[in-house]
């Protein structure tokens, strides 16, 4: 019987990665990291374009944290929760 997971675990959990085969997991992790860095680069470029300056300090840290949480939620709902 599957136990009910909490909000954080459901939105940002990594349980689905354990279900993949080793070969798929390696390719998926590479793709995951490249897509994450590409999205973060677009976010930083967009910030610079809108504000006219490069982000530094707290804006950069905030962008990284927010992008990580949003990206993980997308990956979790598309590939983990969506495949059940």
At residue 61, what are phi and psi to the nearest 5 degrees? -65, -40
pLDDT tens-digit profile of 47-70? 889 888 877 888 889 999 999 888
Residue 76: which of 13, 5, 21 has the closest Cα?
A: 13
The model carries a pTM of: 0.68
In the numeric block, the tokens 């990206």 are attached to 71
Sequence ranges of the domains in the chain: 43-84
Spans of the chain below 50 pLDDT: 1
């Amino acid at each position: 019987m599957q136990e009910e997971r909490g909000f954080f675990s459901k939105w940002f959990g990594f349980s689905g990665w354990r279900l993949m085969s080793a070969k798929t997991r390696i390719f998926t992790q590479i793709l995951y990291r490249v897509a994450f860095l590409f999205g973060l680069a677009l976010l930083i470029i967009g910030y610079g374009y809108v504000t006219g300056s490069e982000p530094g300090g707290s804006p950069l840290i905030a962008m990284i944290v927010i992008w990580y949480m949003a990206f993980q939620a997308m990956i979790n709902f598309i590939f983990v929760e969506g495949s059940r």
